[in-house]
Chains A and B, each alone.
Chain A
Amino acid sequence: MRRDAIRTSLFTRRALLLGGIEALALGGLAARLYQVQVVEGKRYALLAESNRVSARLLAPPRGRLLDRFGTPLATNRINWRAVLIAEQSGDVDATLARFSAIIPLSEHEQARINRELLHQRRFVPIILRDFLQWEDMARIEVNAPDLPGVQIDVGTTRLYPFGPTLAHAIGYVAPPSEDEADDAPVLALPGMRVGRAALEKYHDLALRGRAGILQVEVNATGRVIRELARNEGVAGADITLTLDAGLQQDVVETLGEESASAVVLDARSGEVLAMATSPSFDPTLFNSGVSQAQWNEWTKSRGTPLINKAVAGLYAPGSTFKMVVALAGLEARTIKPGERIFCPGYLDLGDTRFHCWSRYGHGSLDLRGGLKNSCDVFFYELARRTGIDGIAAMAKRFGLGVRPQIELPEARAGLVPTRAWRESHGHHWNPGDTVVHGIGQGFLELTPVQLATMVARIATGRAVEPHLTRAIDATLDPGADPAAAPALDVPAPYLHMVREGMWAVVNEQGGTAPLARLDLPGMQLAGKTGSTQVRHVARELREHGHFNSENLPWELRPHALFVAFAPYDAPRYALAVVVEHGNAGAQRAAPLARAIMTSALTRDPLSRASAAPRLAASGESDPSSARAGTP
C-alpha cells in the first residue's frame, strides 16, 4: 500500500506539472491573441478594410528550345491581353457586362471566364481577351474608371519560328487542365502553357520555371501604396537540342508532299540531327485550342499529320532487316564467311513456295552478294537455318523492338517476335514464319528512328542511343560525348562484312540502289533498300508470284524504305527514310536518302560553328506578331 501511495503521489505531481505546462501554453495563446487582435488590431483592420495586401504574380517565361547552333526553335512572343482581378473588381458581373459592351465576348469566352472565376483565387488575374489590338487597348484604357479590376498586362505566347518543319520533334503547348493547375499552382497563372507533345512535353518541368511574386499594399481604389516583397521567380530553362534546323529544312523539302518520315543521326554519338515527318501541322494552333474542324481534318487525313511517324510509325522493315539476319547467321555460324547459297528464284518449304523478288533467281551468292542483290531466297534460307530466336536476339542488340531512350513520349517499342511471344498469344510458331522474317516481313514492326539507330550501330560498332537534348541551360548532356556510347557486342569482322555488302548495294554495278550513289568527290554512301508489303498483300505476292504494285490503290501499295550511312570509310551520319506506300525503296526512298545525305555532308552540321537558317513563313507572316511590339 505504501508503494501505491508513493506511486500515486508521483503521478499527481507529474500530472500537475503537465497541467501547469498546458496552462502556460494556453496563457501564451491568449497573450498572442491579445497582441494580434488588440495591440496590432488597428493595423490589420486597416489592411482588411480599406487597404489590401495584393499579390501580383509574375509568370515565368517558358524556356526556349534551341537547335545545336542556338537558333530558336520554340520561343515566346509578346502578347498584350486584358485581365480581370476579381478581388479588385467589386461587382464582377457588372464589370464583365461593361467590358463586353466595349469588346464583345463570345458565348464560348463567357463560359470560360465564368468557369475560371469559380475555380481561381480572387487575386489571380483571369484573361478576358488575348492578343489585343491597339484600338481595343485604347478603348479599354479610356473606359478604365468603369472597369474596376480590369488591367492590361503583357504576357507571352509560344512561337514556333519553323512552324510545321519541326512540329513533330518539338511538339506543342496547350492551356493546362484544372487538375494540373491544382497540382502545380504556377499553372494557375494566366497564359501558362503545358507541353502536350514531344520535347515540349518531355522537358515540360524544366521549361516551366517558377512563378515570381510581387506583394504590394493597395488602397481601396487599387492604387499601389508600397511594395512589400518581391521575388522574381525563375525563368524556364533554355534547352539546346542536337537538331540542326538547316538540315531539318533540307530534309523536309526533300520529303516534299509524300507521306513520309526521315531520321538523320550522328552515327558516332546518336545525336538526332534531323527528324522529319510529312505531312505536318502548325503547332502554334494548339496554343489557344484547336477548332473541331481543324482537328477533324488532321485526324481523318490519310497522311496522319499529327503522328510523329519517325518514332511512332510502325513498319515492317523489309529488306533493311537483312543486315540483322546476316549478323545473326554469322554469329550462329549457320553461314561461314565465303559460304554460298543458291537462289533458283524460290524456296520450297513444305507445301509453300516462297518467291524471290527476282523471278529468275540470282544463282549462287555469298553474303555480300546476297545483300547487294537483296536476294530473298538467300535470306529465307539463312533465317531458316538460324531460327527466329537467334535473329530476335541480334535485333535487340541493334535497338530493334526496344523502346529507344529518345526524349519523345510518343516513341514506340515496335515488335520483334520470338517463339515465346507467339506462343504466349496462343499460337504455334511455324517454320514458314521464320522464313518470312528473314526478309523483314511477318510480325516485325519497327520505327524509322530504330532503323536509323540500327544503321548507326552497324556503321560505328558502338551501341549509340538516339537522343535530342544537348544541354539544359549550360549543363551539357553527357550523351553529347561520342566516346560515351559503349562498344556493341558484335564481332567487328562481321560488321565489316555487312558494311561491305551495304557498300555494294549502292556503289557496285548491279547493286539494287544505284540511285543513292553520292555525287561528292571522295565520299561514298552505303545503304540498303526495303520495300515492305502491307501484310495481306505480302501473302498474295509470296504465294502467287508477281503483280504490278503500281496498279494497286494507294493504301495497299508497299512502303518504300532506305537506310544508309556515310562516308563509307569514316561513318559520321546514319539515316533512315520511309515513304509510306511509295512502292519500291530503290526507286522512291533511295533518291531521298541521297539528297539528305548530300545535304548533311556538304553543310557538315557537326563541326559548323554557327548558322543562319532560312526562316519558315509561319511566325513571321502572322500580322499580329508585327503589331505586338508597337504599343
Chain B
Amino acid sequence: MMERRLYRVQEIGVLAKLRAVSWVYVSLLVMLAGVGYVALYSAGGGPLPFANRHALRFGVGFLILIATALTDLRVIKRLAWPLYGLGVGLLVMVARFGHVGKGAQRWIEIGSFQLQPSELMKIFLVLALASWFHRATWERIGNPFYLLPPALATALPVALILKQPNLGTAVITAMVAGAVFFAAGVRWWKLALIALLVTVGAPLAYHHLHDYQRARIETFLHPESDPLGAGYNIIQSRIALGSGGLWGKGFLNGTQGHLDFLPEKQTDFIFTVFAEEFGLIGAISLLFLITLIIAGGFIIALRAREPFARLLAIGITVNYSLYVFVNLAMVMGAIPVGGVPLPLISHGGSALLTAMFGFGLLLSVEVHRDVSLTDEQDLI
C-alpha cells in the first residue's frame, strides 16, 4: 500500500481548494438550514418575523463557512492560542460589562450585534487543545505534568462561564474538552477519575448555585411545580410533540405552536414546532440529516492525517452533536431546560454564525487533510 506524501508547502491554489471542499457536506448544511427556514416560517406564521432573517443570516454564515474552509490550516493552527486568549478576554469583558439577560450575564454588544462569547469560546478551546496535543506522544500523554496546562486552559473558561452563570454551556464546554482529551489518547482512568470527582463535587456545587439554576433543576424533577415558567414549557412541549403523531398535522397546521402555548418557540423549542407539524416521519428525517452531519464530521476526522486536524475535527463534531443532544433531550423533557439552541434551525444570529464558523473549520480540515502542519520550529 502506497502512503500518500504529506505536502510540505502549500501546493494547492484557491480554485483547487474550492474543488476540494466537500460540497456534499455543504449541501447537508444547506438542507439543515432549509429545515430551519420551514420551521421558523411556521413559528412566525409567515416569512416574517423569523424565517427571512434566518435566511439572511445563513447567507452571511455561508460566506464565513467558505472563507474559513479556504483558510490555510497552518494559519489556523498558529492562531489557535491567540484566539483562545481573545475568547477568555471576551468572557472577562462579559463578566465586567456584559448585558444581563434572564438573570445571567452572557452577552456583549458590538454595534447592534449581540455576541455570546461562551459559544465562540468552545471552538477556541478546541483549537487550543488540538494545538497542544498536536505533538503529544504516547509517553508525553502519560505524564501528568504535560496534561496540567491543557487542563488549566479548560478550567479557566469553564469557570468563567459557570460564573455568568450558564450551567448548561459550562457543562457542554467541559464535555467537549473531555472528548478532545480522550481522542488525544489521555488514559481512561485519568478521565474516569476526573469524571468521578465532578460527580462527587456536584452536590457540593449545588449549594453555590444561583437560585434560578437550582430552580431549573427543581423544575426538571417536578415540572408541575413551576407551571408558569419552565415546567409549563416542558408540559406544553411534550403535548406538541405527542400530538404530532406519526404523520404530523401538516405544514402550518400545528395548534400548540400557533396558539402561543410554546413560549420561545422560535429559539429553544423550534424542534417541537417542526415535529408537531411533520410528525415522527419528519422528526426522524431531521434526526437522520443530523446523523449524516455528525457522521460526516467523524469521517473528516478519520481521513485527516495530522493530529491537530484530527482533534480539531473531533472537537467541532462533538460540540455540534452535544448541542443537538442537549436541545432535543430538553424539548422532550429528558434533561433540565438549559437555553441551548438547535444549531442552524433555531432563530438567533450569534449561535448561527458561530456554528457556521465551526463547520468552516471542519471543512478546512477536509481541504487540508494532506498538508503537513509541522512548522520548522517544531522540528528542532
List B contacts of A38 (CB < 8 A).
Answer: 245-246, 280
Contact A37 B283 (CB under 8 A): yes
- Cβ of B156 within 8 Å of any chain A Cβ, yes or no, is no
A372 to B: closest C-beta gap in Å: 59
Known: A11-B183, A37-B275, A55-B232. A48 touches B256 (CB 8 A): yes
Contact A121 B225 (CB under 8 A): no
- Cβ of A215 within 8 Å of any chain B Cβ, yes or no, is yes
Contact B301 A15 (CB under 8 A): yes
Interface pick from B16-24, B144-152, B286-294: B286-294
Q: CB < 8 Å: which of A11, A43, A121 contacts B185?
A: A11
CA distance A55 to B231 in the complex (A): 11
- Cβ of B329 within 8 Å of any chain A Cβ, yes or no, is yes
List A contacts of B279 (CB < 8 A).
Answer: 37
Contact B334 A7 (CB under 8 A): no
Known: A3-B137, A15-B310. A37 touches B246 (CB 8 A): yes
List B contacts of A121 (CB < 8 A).
Answer: 260, 263
Instruction: Give the secondary structure class of B's interface.
Output: helix
List A contacts of B273 (CB < 8 A).
Answer: none
Known: A10-B185, A12-B302, A55-B232. A45 touches B242 (CB 8 A): yes
How many residues on the A side are at the interface (Cβ–Cβ under 8 A)? 47
List A contacts of B298 (CB < 8 A).
Answer: 15-16, 18-19, 22
- Cβ of A231 within 8 Å of any chain B Cβ, yes or no, is yes
Contact A45 B245 (CB under 8 A): yes
Q: CB < 8 Å: which of A23, A29, A37, A44 contacts B328?
A: A29
Contact A49 B243 (CB under 8 A): yes
Q: CB < 8 Å: which of B138, B227, B242 contacts A215?
A: B227
- Cβ of B32 within 8 Å of any chain A Cβ, yes or no, is no
CA distance A36 to B243 in the complex (A): 9
Interface size class of chain B, counting residues whose CB lies under 8 Å from the partner chain: 35 or more
CA distance A55 to B235 in the complex (A): 11
CA distance A121 to B233 in the complex (A): 12
Contact A229 B240 (CB under 8 A): no
Chain A residue with the shortest CB-CB distance to B228? A185
Contact B183 A48 (CB under 8 A): no
Contact B287 A30 (CB under 8 A): yes
Known: A11-B183, A185-B229. A36 touches B325 (CB 8 A): no
Chain A residue with the shortest CB-CB distance to B321? A22
Contact A29 B246 (CB under 8 A): no
CA distance A41 to B325 in the complex (A): 22
- Cβ of A34 within 8 Å of any chain B Cβ, yes or no, is yes
List B contacts of A16 (CB < 8 A).
Answer: 298
- Cβ of A25 within 8 Å of any chain B Cβ, yes or no, is yes
Known: A18-B318, A37-B241, A122-B259. A30 touches B284 (CB 8 A): yes
A1-39: which have CB < 8 Å to B?
A: 3, 6-7, 10-12, 14-16, 18-19, 22-23, 25-26, 29-30, 32-34, 36-38
Contact B242 A228 (CB under 8 A): no
Residue numbers of A with Cβ under 8 A of B are 3, 6-7, 10-12, 14-16, 18-19, 22-23, 25-26, 29-30, 32-34, 36-38, 40-45, 47-49, 53, 55, 57, 87, 121-122, 185-186, 188, 211, 213, 215, 228-229, 231
**A7-B185, A44-B241 given. 11 additional CB < 8 A pairs?**
A10-B185, A11-B183, A11-B310, A18-B179, A22-B318, A26-B325, A34-B280, A41-B242, A44-B239, A48-B239, A215-B224
Residue numbers of B with Cβ under 8 A of A are 137-138, 179, 182-185, 224-225, 227-229, 232, 235-236, 238-246, 255-256, 259-261, 263, 275, 279-280, 283-284, 287, 290-291, 294-295, 298, 301-302, 307, 310, 314, 318, 321, 325, 328-329, 332, 334
